[in-house]
Structure 1
Amino acid sequence: MKVNEEGFTVYHNFPIKELSNKVFKAITNPDDLIHWWPLKCTGTPKVGAEYNLFFGGAYNWYGDVVQCKESTSFYIKMTKSEDDWNSTTFGFDLFEKDDGVTWIHFFHKGWAEQNDHFKHSSYCWALLLNGLKNYVEKGIIIPFEERN
């Protein structure tokens, strides 16, 4: 059952105690992404660029940058991944506050149904985004095999 034409969406909003340019780098730079999400990564933060997100084995996924505004927003539309992820889009909107805190409004939209994979992915995003927060704020890198 679909709620609307866009499907279902995962949402997570949270603060990171850092300026938006540093948060933006952590969500767009492959050398930073590998410290909190994929095992390996390539890509350039510009609209139309392709990102390769490699998680090991058959999990060699690709997505295209569909929005990229320096220190403000970054969205990727998945093009080659697991069936439930294909044609979904995830993104980050950044809102810097006066006190040096950046609020992230994260979404992962376009899910066809709220199946077990949707629910598991929502949970995994929460854990991974906490890893992003700890990486940016404290320099903590969780080994890839412990990110679950």
Structure 2
Amino acid sequence: MAFNIYYNLLIKTTSRVVFDAVTLPEHLNNWWTLKSSGVPKLNSEYNLNFTDTYNWFGKVSKVKNNESFHLKMTDSDKDWNPTTFGFDLKTNSSGTLVKFSHVNWLKDNHHYRRSSFCWAMLLNDLKNYLEKGIIIPFEKRN
């Protein structure tokens, strides 16, 4: 049995702006990572660095400009390694509906539940970053 995390949120901006924010390192570093690298192309590698201890890697498993972006973790925490997370974007009259998923967790354990909580907080940070220009310094992100 696999365990999954799903969230939907509306961000009042275009799908291109959201796509850039979840794929380009200069934006990822403003709401999620300490430093990151990668390009949104199928099978390309992303480095997601949070600290020297949490220096993770993932491979782009799905990408369609301004519509979807998914990373399959390849070198990370043992609980994250089998997982894939991603963003599917749907434009509507109010902005962009972000359908977030983080799937294929092997256990319903502390790390799974903590990650679910963290994603909720981070997605709110993403929304505030894109709608209000708020950047929370990395060391103050929970």
- TM-score between the two structures when normalised by the length of structure 1: 0.94
Matched, 1:141 2:141: no
Tell me the secondary structure at the aligned position of residue 77 of structure 1.
strand
Moved segments of 4+, more than 6 Å? none
Percent identity between the two aligned chains? 53
Matched, 1:85 2:80: yes
Q: Distance in 1 between matches of 2:52 and 2:123?
A: 23
Q: Distance in 1 between matches of 2:127 and 2:5?
A: 18
Q: Distance in 1 between matches of 2:134 and 2:127?
A: 9
Matched, 1:44 2:39: yes
| Cα deviation, residue 57, structure 1 | 2.0
Matched, 1:55 2:54: no
Matched, 1:26 2:21: yes
Contact 2:82–2:106 (8 Å) recurs in 1: no
Amino acid in the other structure paired with 1:145:
E
Q: 2:109 maps to what in 1?
A: 115
List per-residue Cα deviations over 1:37-95 (Å, max 9, x = no partner). 01000000010100000001210000000111011000000000000000200000000
Structure 2, unaligned runs of 5 or more? none
Contact 2:13–2:130 (8 Å) recurs in 1: yes
Q: Distance in 1 between matches of 2:126 and 2:15?
A: 13
- TM-score between the two structures when normalised by the length of structure 2: 0.98
Q: 2:71 maps to what in 1?
A: 76
Q: 2:99 maps to what in 1?
A: 105
Contact 2:83–2:103 (8 Å) recurs in 1: yes
Count of matched residue pairs: 142
Structure 1, unaligned runs of 5 or more? none
Q: Distance in 2 between matches of 1:76 and 1:29?
A: 13
Tell me the secondary structure at the aligned position of residue 113 of structure 2.
helix
Q: Distance in 1 between matches of 2:102 and 2:126?
A: 16
Q: Distance in 2 between matches of 1:121 and 1:29?
A: 22
